[in-house]
Amino acid sequence: MNEKQDKRCRAPNYSQEEKMHVIENKTTDAVTWHQKEEAWKEVTIKFNASSLVKRSVASIKNFYENQKRNCHKKASEERI
């Protein structure tokens, strides 16, 4: 076979809006799980490129979840 026929076409990069939908998607099937992992890896690469301290995917993901939890907690307290 021709080498060009074997290569897959590269998809465009995720937009910020697409990343949010992938990361926040509550679906738990294998395809979505893989998309989430890829999105978190890309977020980590971009974060580490602009930071002096290198963080792992797990560290950034944990920070994000904690920030989200604190934000929900604060919003809940303000409603009371």
pLDDT digits (tens, 9 = 90+) for 34-45: 999 999 999 999
Summarised one tens digit per residue, pLDDT across range 48-72 is 998 888 999 999 999 999 988 998 8
Give yes or no for a contact between 58 and 75, defined as CB atoms under 8 angstroms apart. no
Domain ranges of the chain: 53-80
CA nearest neighbour of 19 among 44, 6, 36, 1: 36
Place of tokens 């076979």: 1
Give yes or no for a contact between 43 and 60, defined as CB atoms under 8 angstroms apart. yes
What is the model's pTM? 0.65
Give yes or no for a contact between 23 and 40, defined as CB atoms under 8 angstroms apart. yes
How far out from the chain centre does Cα 37 lie? Answer: 7
